[in-house]
Amino acid sequence: MGLRINDIVPNLELTTDHGTFKFHDWIGDQWAILFSHPKDFTPVCTTEFGAVSQLGAEWAKRGTKVIGLSVDSVEEHGKWKSDIESFASAKAEFPIIADLDLTVSKAFDMLPAEAYLPDGRTAADSASVRSVFIISPDKKVQLIMTYPMSVGRNFAEVLRALDALQATFGQPIATPANWQHGQDVIVALSLNDDQAREKFGEIDVKLPYLRTTKQPS
């Protein structure tokens, strides 16, 4: 069975271009994002990893670590990072997992258990390794996004989703469609109106089941 939201991520030993470490140790007490791609030196993925590099200050501002993954070697990652940095005009300071034996891809249900890499493989052989996992400090999966090879990931949306997850984590609130940081949030149905006002102050009752309030600071 694959990983689901609220599952604890497997504490695998990861081989990366930043060394070898256990996944949980690397996460520590921070938020983390694992983003994977099918192959180094491919055009769409170069733009994506470039976008991640350009957002370095934004990840840090949110207390979030990012880590990439592909089924290429540590040596290939090091060479490819030069291209990423040249394209993006930003340092690629995050580690990239070298998942040559597919252990991580299979553990995260990006590839079936029987998958293998053929000789002379192309990106199409690992096309499903194109996912984003946002992980909370308790090591649980909070969000999963999977994209086809033809669609580059929108990391502005990944940031927005991260903001929403951090805003609602452990709080009786949710975020509405198209929410951005600082906008009003939805009061959870677990609170009645009096409880909501006691906790948040003013609430806006738009419908009996749809009440909003200012985003808690």
Neighbours of 8 (CB within 10 A): 12
Q: Are strands 210-213 and 131-135 parallel, antiparallel or unpaired?
A: unpaired
Radius of gyration from C-alpha coordinates of the chain: 19
Establish whether 45 is a catalytic residue.
yes
Beta 210-213 vs 204-207: how paired, if at all? antiparallel
User: What is the per-residue pLDDT for 38?
Assistant: 82
27, 34, 45, 71: the active-site residue: 45
In degrees and rounded to multiples of 5, residue 145 shows phi and psi of -125, 135
- pLDDT tens for the chain, 217 residues: list them: 578 999 999 999 999 999 999 999 999 999 999 999 888 999 999 999 999 999 999 999 999 999 999 888 999 999 999 999 999 999 999 999 999 888 898 899 887 455 544 444 444 544 456 899 999 999 999 999 988 888 999 999 999 999 999 999 999 999 999 999 999 999 999 999 999 999 999 999 999 999 999 999 8
CA torsion angle for 92, 94, 99, 100 (degrees, to 10)? 40
Terminal Cα-to-Cα distance of the chain (whole angstroms): 38
- The pLDDT assigned to 178 comes to 97
Question: What pLDDT does residue 120 have?
Answer: 47
The C-alpha atoms of residue 93 and residue 175 are separated, in whole angstroms, by: 31
The values of phi and psi at residue 105, to 5°, are -60, -40
Which pLDDT does position 147 carry in this prediction? 87
Q: Which fold has domain 13-152?
A: Glutaredoxin (3.40.30)
The domain locations on the chain are 13-152, 173-213
Q: Are 37 and 51 in contact (CB under 8 A)?
A: no
Task: For residue 61, give the amino acid letter.
Answer: K
